[in-house]
Structure 1
């Protein structure tokens, strides 16, 4: 299980989540940040740090944000 950064982060790119992640699984993409689902330890630290509430558990991802999980998986290969 992992957390996903939704498109609320798009172009906002508030980086508070990056510095708080204990496993450095958050990387900067062209227009937003992404969480590596293979590295995320599901600690939730990034959720509280996000000033735009863009980070959600992958199981709570709204249907209109499902593509964000795919984008993250593609970003990390």
Structure 2
């Protein structure tokens, strides 16, 4: 189990969670942030600092956002486990589910 970033983060990406993560396992995609399921140590430090409340423990992801669990895993399908997000920077990729969402976070 790990933490998952869901819909409230799409097109928002505040990044407070990145600053709080002690193991550098939160990666930046084109439209969302993603938590590496193998690098995350389940410390939960990211969850309370998310200003849009987009981070959930995998078992607690609301049903309407359950597809984000798979999208989070899919993000790392080709990337593998690089051992830290900071050295990679922003990755211009999102899984098709996220890429094809309508624009979000706009007023």
For the superposition of Structure 1 and Structure 2, which TM-score range results when normalised by the shorter chain?
over 0.9
The one of the two structures with greater contact order (alpha-carbon pairs below 8 A, sep at least 6) is: 1
In structure 1, stretches of 5+ residues that fail to align are none
Q: Separation in 2 of the partners of 1:68 and 1:25?
A: 17
The TM-score normalised by the length of structure 1 is 0.94
Q: Separation in 2 of the partners of 1:29 and 1:72?
A: 10
Render the CA deviation track for 1:23-70: whole Å, top value 9, x for unaligned. Answer: 111000110101011111110100011111110110011111111111
The TM-score normalised by the length of structure 2 is 0.69
In structure 2, stretches of 5+ residues that fail to align are 78-107
Q: Secondary structure at the match of 2:67?
A: helix
Q: Does 2:52 match 1:52? A: yes
Q: Secondary structure at the match of 2:53?
A: coil
Residue equivalent to 1:13: 13
Q: Which has the higher strand share?
A: 1
> Which structure: larger Rg?
2
Aligned residues: 77
